[in-house]
Amino acid sequence: MASRMRLSTITHLAYAVTLVLTAVSASTFILSARSASQERIAIQQHLEVDDLAEELAIVAESRTDEARLYVMRGDEQHLAKFYVDDDQELHLEASLEKLSRLGVSPEEKAMFHQIRSAADAIDKIEKDAIGAYRAGRQNDAQRALFSDEHYRLHTNLLKQVEDVRSSITARSQGIVDAAKARSDFFGTIAKSMLVLTALMFLAVLYFVLSRRVALPLIRMSNVVRRLAQQEYDVEVLDDGRRDEIGEMNHAIQIFRNNGLERERLDAERRKDQRMKDLMLQMMHRVQACQNQEELSDVVSRFMPQIFPDAAGHLFVLKEQGSTLHSLGQWSGPTASDLHFSIDDCWALRRGRPHLSEPDGEDVTCHHIHIAESSNLCIPLTALGDIVGLLYLETRTENHASQADRLYFELLAENVGLAVANLQFRQRLVGMAKRDALTGLLNRRSLDEALNRSLDNQGIALGCIMIDIDYFKRFNDQFGHDAGDAVMQYVARILLEVVGEKGDVFRFGGEEFTILLPGATDTDAEKVAEHLRQAVESAPLSYRGRLLDPVTISLGISTSPQGGPVSSVLERADRALLAAKKNGRNQWIRDEITEQA
C-alpha cells in the first residue's frame, strides 16, 4: 500500500500526524500546567486559612487577656487594646466569612458557624464584664471573666479553630495531591507525545529519505548511467510505485524503450544498408561473369550473405529445351527437385513469383516434394522469355517479409538478364567458332587449337585430314541440299567416333580435320580406320531415297614423332592428297609418304 502512495501524500500524512501529536502534547502540557496552578492555589488557600485560624486564636487569646487585665488593674491602655483587638477580630471574622464561601465543605461551614457563635458568646461575656467594671462592680466583672463558663467557651473556641485548621489542612492536602497527580499524569503524557512525535519524525525521515528516496535514486542512478552508455539491455525495475519516484522510473523505462527501438531501427537500417551494398556488389559481379559457372559461383556466394535465413537454387533452362537444371545452390536446400520441366513450376507457368507453403492458401509446385518449409519461386526472364528460375527455401517461422520479396525479385531480374546475356554470348561465340551447317568447330577454331598446341610442345598431337570422296557427284545428281545432308551425315559420324579423344573441325568445303591430343601413331591410325569403316558402312538416305555409299580419304600426321607441331596440318594434308591419288577410301600416314 505504501508503494502506491506518492511522496507528497506520505509527507502530508506525516505532517498531519505530527500536528496531531504536537496538539495533543500541547494540550497535555496545558492541562499539566493548569493542574499545577490548581495545586498552587490549593496550597495558598490552605496557608491563608491556616494563618487566619491561627491569627483568630491569637486575637481571641489577646482580647481575653486585655479584658482580664483591665478588670484587674483598671488600666485604660488594656481597654484600648481590647477594642483594637476587637476591630482586628471583626476584620478576621470578615475574612473568615469570605473564605468560608470559597471551596469549603458543608462540615467546615458548620464549624465556621460554631466558631462565630462561640466568639460572639465570649465577646458578650467580656463586654458585659467590662461594663460591670466600669459600673463599679469589679468583683462581678472578675468573676465573669474568670468563670468556668468563660473558660469553657474560650477552650471550645480554640478547639473549634484547631478542628477547622485540621479539616482544611486535610482537604487542601487532598486537593494538592489530586492536582499534583493530574499534573504528573498530563506531564507524562505530554513528554510521551513529544517522544512519540520525535520518533514519528525520525521514522518518516528514515522511511522517506532512506527507503523511499535514497535506495531508488541509487538504483535509478546506475540505470541512467548505463543508459547514457547506450546499454539499453539494462533492466528497469518496476516496483509498482505510483509516486514521484515511480513516475521517474516510468520515464526512464520510456527512455529505455525508445533507446531499444532506436537501436532496433538502427540495426535494421544497418542490415538493410549492408543488404543493399551486398546486392550492388552481387549485381556488379553478375554482369561481369563470362560463363554460367562464374554466375553460379557469384550467386551461391552472395545469396547466403544477403539472405542468411534462406537456402536456394539457381535453375537454368537448357537452351532450346523445356527442362531446368540446378546450376548452383546455397545453404543446403532440400525441398525441390534438381531437374524438372517448366510445367512443374507454377511460377514458370504464370510468369510471376509463386509462394508454396505447407498450410498456405495457394497450390504447391510439383517440383517441391517436402512440404515443411516456405518456398518461393521467382521466374528469371529476359525480353519476355524465360531463361531460368530463382528458388528460395525458408523455414515457416522465418517467412520472408514483403521487403525481402521485393529484393528477391530485384535480384531475380538482374540474374535473369545475366543468364540471358551469357546464353546470347554463348550463341555468338558458337557462331564465331562453329560451322553453321555441320555444327563442327570451324577453321578459326582449328587455328586457335593449333596455336595452343604450339605452346605445349611436350604433348603429342595427332592430326587427321579427311575429304569426302567424289563429293561433287552428290551435288550434281541430287542438288546442293543433298550435298549438305552428306556433309552433316559425315560430321555426325566423325563426332560419334572421335568422342572424347579429340576435336573435329570443318576445314572447308567437304574437308574435315581431327586433332587428337596425346595420340601416338598407332592411336591415330586406329581412329582413322574406325572413321573410314563407319562412314562407308552407314547407309544414307535423302528424301526417302537411298544414296550411294559415302567414302572418305584420310591423311595422318603426328607430332613430335613425325615432325614439329607447326607442320602437323600441312603434313596431314599432304598425306590426304596421297591417299586420294592412291585410289581414295583409305588412309595414309605422312611418314609413309616421306619414306615413299
Q: What band does 445 get if pLDDT is binned at 50, 70 and 90?
A: confident
Cβ atoms within 10 Å of 230's Cβ, excluding its own: 10
Q: Mean pLDDT lowest for which of 50-59, 308-317, 564-573?
A: 50-59
What is d(CA 145, CA 385) in angstroms, rounded to the nearest whole number?
Answer: 166
Question: In the prediction, which pLDDT does 592 show?
Answer: 46
Contact between residue 525 and residue 557 where contact means Cβ atoms under 8 Å apart = no
Q: What band does 526 get if pLDDT is binned at 50, 70 and 90?
A: very high
Question: In the prediction, which pLDDT does 384 show?
Answer: 80
Helical spans, DSSP H, in 355-469? 402-433, 443-455
- Which residues make Cβ contacts (< 8 Å) with residue 152, sequence separation at least 6? none
- Which residues make Cβ contacts (< 8 Å) with residue 424, sequence separation at least 6? none
Q: What band does 588 get if pLDDT is binned at 50, 70 and 90?
A: very high
What is d(CA 20, CA 16) in angstroms, rounded to the nearest whole number?
Answer: 6
Q: Is the dihedral of CA 26, 27, 29, 34 positive or negative?
A: positive
Contact between residue 418 and residue 289 where contact means Cβ atoms under 8 Å apart = yes
Name the β-bridge partners of 391: 313, 377
Q: In what order do the strands lie in the sheet with 552-559?
A: 503-508, 511-517, 461-468, 552-559, 587-589
Contact between residue 195 and residue 24 where contact means Cβ atoms under 8 Å apart = no
SS3 (DSSP) at 313 = strand
Sorted by where each starts, the structural domains of the chain and their CATH numbers stand as 2-201 (1.20.120.1730), 289-429 (3.30.450.40), 434-595 (3.30.70.270)
Question: In the prediction, which pLDDT does 72 show?
Answer: 75
C-alpha cell belonging to residue 389: 528460375
Q: Mean pLDDT lowest for which of 350-354, 397-401, 491-495, 537-541?
A: 397-401
Q: Is the dihedral of CA 292, 294, 300, 302 positive or negative?
A: negative
Buried b (16+ CB within 10 A) or exposed e, 33-69: eebbebbeebbebbeebbebbebbbebbebbbebbbb
Q: What is the pLDDT of residues 74-108, one digit of tens each?
A: 777 766 776 766 665 565 566 556 555 555 667 76
Average pLDDT over the chain, rounded to an integer? 78
CA angle 26, 32, 35 (to 5 degrees): 145
Q: What band does 512 get if pLDDT is binned at 50, 70 and 90?
A: very high
Task: Work out the average pLDDT over 226-231.
Answer: 68
What is d(CA 312, CA 332) in angstroms, rounded to the nearest whole number?
Answer: 7
Higher pLDDT, 429 or 589: 589
C-alpha cell belonging to residue 318: 537448357
**DSSP letters along 155-204, please?**
HHHHHHHHHHHHHHHHHHHHHHHHHHHHHHHHHHHHHHHHHHHHHHHHHH
How far is residue 589 from each of residues 190, 465, 537, measured CA to CA in Å?
Answer: 141, 10, 22
Phi, psi of 514 (to 5 degrees): -125, 130
| Residue of 89, 108, 393, 510 marked catalytic | 510
Question: 587-589 and 552-559 as β-strands: parallel, antiparallel, unpaired?
Answer: parallel
The radius of gyration computed from the CA coordinates of the chain, to the nearest angstrom, equals: 71
> Of 228, 184, 226, 175, which Cα lies nearest the Cα of 31?
184
C-alpha cell belonging to residue 380: 528469371
C-alpha cell belonging to residue 180: 499534583
Length of the chain: 596
- Which residues make Cβ contacts (< 8 Å) with residue 337, sequence separation at least 6? 344, 367, 368, 369
Q: Is-catalytic flag, 510?
A: yes
What is d(CA 352, CA 377) in angstroms, rounded to the nearest whole number?
Answer: 8
SS3 (DSSP) at 258 = helix
Q: Mean pLDDT lowest for which of 200-209, 295-304, 432-441, 478-487?
A: 200-209
Q: Is it the case that residue 319 has pLDDT exceeding 70?
A: no
The pTM (predicted TM-score) of the whole model is 0.49
Q: What is the pLDDT of residues 293-310, one digit of tens each?
A: 888 899 999 988 888 888
